[in-house]
Amino acid sequence: MRCGVGNAWRGLATAVLLAGLAAGCGESGDDSGGSGTEAKASATAGVAARGESIGAAGSACELPVTFDIAEFWEAEAIDTASQEGDTGNDIADQLADAFLHQGPVTMACEVDAKPAGKLGFLRVWTGEPGDADARAVLEGFVTAEKGASGAKYRPFKSGSLSGAEVEYTTTSELLEETKKERALAVSTPDGPVVVHLGGMDTEEHEAMLPAYELARRTLKATT
C-alpha cells in the first residue's frame, strides 16, 4: 500500500481494514534496563545498509527530525489534509481518521520496505508543539493501538534528542495471532515525534529490525 500525496482512498481504506483486524486492550510496564531477551534482540539485529536520509528540507519527508533509511526502502510524505474530509462514506471517513491518527500523534511519513523485498513499514508520526513528555506521548500511542499488550519502556537518547523507546505486542483475536512491534518517541521544539516499526508478522518485523536500528542510531534534530 502507498499512502502518499494524491493516492486514492481505496488503498488507504484497505490498509485500515487490515490494521483493524486487531482487537483487545493495552497494558504497559517499565523495563529498567531491559530483559536479557530484548537486549539480545537489539544487539543481534545489526544495522541496515544506508539509503537516503529523510527529514531535512527537500527530502522525501520533511520532519522535525532527520535519519537514514535502509537501502532500497522508499519514503513518502503523508498529506493528511488530502486524505481526510467528507468522502460521503462514513465508514471510510472513520477508517481514515483511525489510520492517520494514533493517540496524540498524526502520521507524517511512511517508509515502505517492499522495494527491499520485505512486508512492512517504518512510519513517522508527529504531534503538536508543546511541553508534552516523550514518554507520555509514547504511552498514549501504544495505548491507542488495538490489541497492544506487554509494553516495556526504557529511556532513549540520540545526540541532543531524548525520549523513550518501547517494545510490545499486538494480538488479533480474529486471526489468533500475536506479533511484535517497536517504537520510540522524542521531544523536539516542533513537537513530539514517534518512529514506529510494525510488520506483517513477527518474522517480518524481526527481518526489518536492522532498518529500525539504522533510523534509531542516526536520529537527529532537524537543523
Average pLDDT, the chain: 81
Alpha-carbon gap, residue 131 to 119, rounded angstroms: 35
CATH classification at residue 64: 3.40.1000.10
Mean pLDDT, residues 22-48 taken together? 46
Q: How far is CA 107 from CA 36, 59, 111, 159, 174, in A?
A: 32, 17, 11, 24, 26
Q: 65: domain range?
A: 9-221
- What's the pTM? 0.78
* Residue 1 falls inside a structural domain: no
Tens-digit pLDDT profile for residues 87-118: 566 676 667 777 899 999 999 999 999 999 99
Number of structural domains, the chain?
1
Burial of 26 per CB tally in 10 Å (0-12, 13-18, 19+): middle
* Residue 3 falls inside a structural domain: no
* Residue 2 falls inside a structural domain: no
* Residue 175 falls inside a structural domain: yes
Tens-digit pLDDT profile for residues 175-209: 789 999 999 999 999 999 999 999 999 999 999 99
* Residue 21 falls inside a structural domain: yes
Tens-digit pLDDT profile for residues 125-154: 999 999 889 999 999 999 999 999 999 999
Tens-digit pLDDT profile for residues 45-102: 589 999 999 999 999 999 999 999 999 999 999 988 766 555 566 676 667 777 899 9
* Residue 59 falls inside a structural domain: yes
